[in-house]
Amino acid sequence: MTYDNTPAFAYELDEQDPLRVFRSQFHFPKRNGKDAIYFCGNSLGLQPKVTESYIQRELDYWKEHAVEGHFTGNTPWVSYHQLSKKSLSRLTGGLEHEVVSMNNLTTNLHLLLASFYQPSGKRVKLMIEGGAFPSDHYAAESHMRRVGISPEEHLITLTPESGKTFTNEEIISAIKDQGEELALVLFPGVQYYTGQFFDMKAIAQAAHEVGSFAGFDLAHAMGNLPMTLHDDDIDFATWCSYKYVNSGPGGMSGIFVHEKHGNNPNFPKLTGWWGHDSKTRFQMDNQFVPNPGVDGWMLSNMNIISSAAHLASLSIFDKTSMEELREKSIKLTGFLEYLLLNDPITAKHIEILTPSNPEERGCQLSIFIDQNGKAIFDGLIDAGVILDWREPNVIRVAPTPLYNSFTDVWRFCGIFKQLIVKHAEK
């Protein structure tokens, strides 16, 4: 696509955008008397306007029916987790019996590691990416120590040869090099710092070829990119819903377990009452029989209020498709990249850490600023631009297709340039 650095061009893109109708369905924080330019959906998505009514419905039902709400009405709480399965299937490319909403991300990651980190003999190594999000690193280490495997010896923290982003070839090569010593590969779908989108299918295939499981943390991929977890033969995945899925702070997580594992009643798992076969759960005989599929990993009944907020946001995703969102996302980040790199002043003082290939990134561009980055970031916040800061000198800018516009991108770049002139240009 050919871009132009004018407000008229940005306006024309917005006028042609078939997804522009969704912007009005979200609450924007106010800054300086106007809607903020909100580029922080990679940390916390905006609140859908419909969320309040979804939560109020369950509050009213709780008020009116108390414990009977578990089994009565159109959305009985005992089966509330079933309500999101169709939407989650569409977002992940998993089958409905392979996906379920439950817990939070790190809790789910621990549950999945308890199942899929199965060291045996010399197959003990666990591979993560160097600079993994702390929760992932901590979880990996803790499960290794739990079973008496030394992370110092056997946790592989893979770093890119370039020092910036990975090539697909070096990841696959590292997996093959570990061979029969590798028990598990745990990677993100999208790396939180650089915004790199990994080829999950290729990583899983390489892991399987050496006899290892492959799982993914989809915190920054869920609601950001189309995925095909079932067809890609991914063993397991987990995600949060408060970023691109806009389900509220600390909102519901979910998991995917491929049916080849989920349909095996003897596959190892930490068990809880809600994972017991729903047909016989209330017999209370303490003889665990797992639910078929991913529901066998459930521990306890749903957090209904948080789940209601989750359903509210999913109802918006149900009105479009990840393919449509992806098409706009590529245009948004392409426009942002064009404006940043084709202005001589801005380009002089920044480096975009995120891959330039649109197929290797989602909504986010991570921008390194060569000097006075924090002052520039603070100036953006003061000017009504909400985004986030990562040391050293990096701002993560995430134009999100459900609610951001091309005019947002154009306005941001103008403010950004002014602040570079003020704080960095000599």
Is 247 in contact with 309 (CB distance < 8 Å)? yes
Is 397 in contact with 412 (CB distance < 8 Å)? yes
Contacting residues for 152 by C-beta, under 8 A, at least 6 apart:
none
> Per-residue pLDDT for 368 more than 70?
yes
Same domain assignment for residues 340 and 369: yes
Same domain assignment for residues 294 and 148: yes
Amino acid at 239: W
Same domain assignment for residues 126 and 243: yes
Same domain assignment for residues 170 and 283: yes
Mean pLDDT, the chain, whole residue set: 97
Six token digits for residue 7: 């407000």
Domain boundary among 302, 317, 332: 317
Domain boundary among 272, 297, 317: 317
Same domain assignment for residues 194 and 103: yes
Residue 2 lies in a domain: no
Is 243 in contact with 223 (CB distance < 8 Å)? yes
Contacting residues for 177 by C-beta, under 8 A, at least 6 apart:
none
Same domain assignment for residues 214 and 186: yes
What proportions of the chain, in percent to the nearest 5, are helix, strand and coil?
A: 45, 15, 40
pLDDT tens-digit profile of 29-62? Answer: 999 999 999 999 999 999 999 999 999 999 999 9
Residue 58 lies in a domain: no
Instruction: Quote the domain boundaries for residue 258.
Output: 75-317
pLDDT tens-digit profile of 197-219? Answer: 999 999 999 999 999 999 999 99
Q: Which of 128, 126, 102 is nearest to 114 (CA)?
A: 126
**CATH code of the domain in which 415 resides:** 3.90.1150.10
Amino acid at 164: K
Residue 352 lies in a domain: yes
- The Cα 170–Cα 375 span in angstroms is 37
- The Cα 4–Cα 2 span in angstroms is 7
Q: In what order do the strands lie in the sheet with 350-352?
A: 350-352, 365-369, 394-397, 388-390
pLDDT tens-digit profile of 298-311? Answer: 999 999 999 999 99
**CATH code of the domain in which 205 resides:** 3.40.640.10
Span 187-192, average pLDDT: 98
**pLDDT reported for residue 17:** 98
Same domain assignment for residues 325 and 311: no
Neighbour-count burial of 83, counting CB atoms closer than 10 A to its CB (0-12 exposed, 13-18 middle, 19+ buried): middle
Residue 57 lies in a domain: no
**pLDDT reported for residue 407:** 98
Q: Which of 323, 408, 395 is nearest to 354 (CA)?
A: 395
> Per-residue pLDDT for 426 more than 70?
no
Residue 222 lies in a domain: yes
pLDDT tens-digit profile of 251-274? Answer: 999 999 999 999 999 999 999 999
> Per-residue pLDDT for 163 more than 90?
no
Same domain assignment for residues 127 and 242: yes
Six token digits for residue 153: 């010896």
- The Cα 371–Cα 376 span in angstroms is 9
> Per-residue pLDDT for 379 more than 80?
yes
- The Cα 54–Cα 31 span in angstroms is 27
Residue 329 lies in a domain: yes
**pLDDT reported for residue 24:** 98
Same domain assignment for residues 41 and 79: no
Residue 66 lies in a domain: no
Q: Classify strands 236-240 and 213-217 as parallel, antiparallel or unpaired.
A: parallel
**pLDDT reported for residue 424:** 83
Beta bridge partners of 368: 351, 394
Six token digits for residue 128: 């993560």
Same domain assignment for residues 292 and 167: yes
pLDDT tens-digit profile of 131-145? Answer: 999 999 999 999 999
Q: Classify strands 365-369 and 34-35 as parallel, antiparallel or unpaired.
A: unpaired
Amino acid at 233: D
Same domain assignment for residues 407 and 306: no
Percentage of the chain with pLDDT > 70? 100
Domain boundary among 301, 317, 333: 317
Residue 10's pLDDT band (boundaries 50, 70, 90)?
very high
Number of domains into which the chain is organized: 2
**pLDDT reported for residue 1:** 83
Residue 338 CB neighbour total at 10 angstroms = 17
**pLDDT reported for residue 198:** 98
Same domain assignment for residues 298 and 358: no
Is 108 in contact with 135 (CB distance < 8 Å)? no
In this prediction the pTM is: 0.96
Residue 73's pLDDT band (boundaries 50, 70, 90)?
confident
> Per-residue pLDDT for 25 more than 90?
yes
Amino acid at 379: G
Residue 65 lies in a domain: no
- CA atoms lying within 13 Å on the CB side of residue 61: 20
